[in-house]
Amino acid sequence: MKTVKIGMISFAHSHANGILNELSAILGVEIAGIFDDQRERVDKIIESRGIPYYEDHKRLLETDIDAVVICSENSYHAKYTLDAAAAGKHVLCEKPLGIKVDEMKRMIESCKRQGVQLMTAFPCRYLPAVIKAKAAVDRGEIGDIMAIKATNRGRMPGRWFIRKELSGGGAVLDHTVHVMDLMNWFTGSDPEEVYAEAGTLFHEGLGIDDAGIVHVKFANGVAAVIDPSWSRAKSFPTGGDVTMRLIGTKGVIDVNALGQVNELYSDELGKMQWSYWGDGMGGYMVHDFVEAVRKGTNVPITGDDGLRSAAVAIAAYESVECGASVRVKL
């Protein structure tokens, strides 16, 4: 079995730790180096695991690694991806793929030109409820999809997520993209038109949107709406959700992607929690990335998939600004 050497670029995003653990559990994977422009974020990791640290991401890219995982602030995704492609390294990039349509196109074109894979981190495709619903749709159990009502409501993450120069946007960008990818996947059609409203409703003085409603029209006529708000209270039993109601010509499917839970009552916490017991999604995602790198096959979730979802969120902000529906720029 060929060893796949992977470097990690930034631990700014909280998903980085989970991805590191999932990669470390895969036979034949070596975490060959870590770069982060804030070393304090990774000090404990490099000390406990003995992973080499690089002060410059380009020095990491000069080594014999096969691929990189990028979990930086959103505004740096393009820079790190373009540098990785130029160095001939495959890329798994955290969502959203980018914060501007033109930069995402450059990322995609550069990776294709250099012959390297670009995968967008959309782990929700691997949730059991999502997989079963997709199979049911493909079997024609609800006929043709006519409309989708979806949510991805979470908690306000703070930190760089609420600094627009680093995040590119608030809740609408952060939480539209996951479910938008699922809707693109289920419909098999491109999003064409967006109307959205957004604002700050739950965190006074936040300075960035924490609530929104995004309406989408697809090329095949499907109409969809997403609630991507950071609206989960601290007392809520879970931090977020991923739901879809798929309305077809012959029936309806309700998807509660994170609904495989036990009710956990804790005197220490002082509240009830939902304890998720379903299959983890991150492990399957990174496994597919590693296997694509190892075997030279195509990744299942591409940079184009990342563009199609992020472009909707970007169009949503344009719609909010002008107060009208706008075309999605793909």
pLDDT digits (tens, 9 = 90+) for 65-90: 999 999 999 999 999 999 999 999 99
What is the Cα Rg of the chain in Å? 20
Average model confidence (pLDDT) for the chain?
96
**179 falls in which pLDDT band (50, 70, 90)?**
very high
Q: Where are the CATH 3.30.360.10 domain residues in the chain?
A: 124-280+311-327
Q: What was the pLDDT predicted at 277? A: 85
Distance CA 225, CA 218 (A): 11
Amino acid at 254: D
Query: Distance between CA atoms of 173 and 314, rounded to whole angstroms?
Result: 7
Domain covering 4-123+282-300: architecture: 3-Layer(aba) Sandwich (3.40)
> Is the pLDDT higher at 1 or at 37?
37
Calculate mean pLDDT across residues 200-210: 95
Q: Is the pLDDT of residue 235 over 90?
A: no
Mean pLDDT computed over 285-314: 97
- Residue 21 has a CB neighbour count (10 Å cut-off) of 12
- Residue 58: predicted pLDDT: 98
For the segment 239-269, what is each residue's pLDDT rounded down to a tens digit? 789 999 999 999 999 999 988 889 988 888 7
Judged against a pLDDT cut of 80, whether residue 49 lies above it is answered with yes
Region(s) of the chain under CATH 3.40.50.720: 4-123+282-300
Structure tokens at 21: 């653990």
- pLDDT band at residue 321, thresholds of 50, 70 and 90? very high
Nearest Cα to Cα of residue 273 among 239, 242, 228? 239
Instruction: Give the fold, CATH level 3, of 124-280+311-327.
Output: Dihydrodipicolinate Reductase; domain 2 (3.30.360)
Share of the chain above pLDDT 90, in %: 89
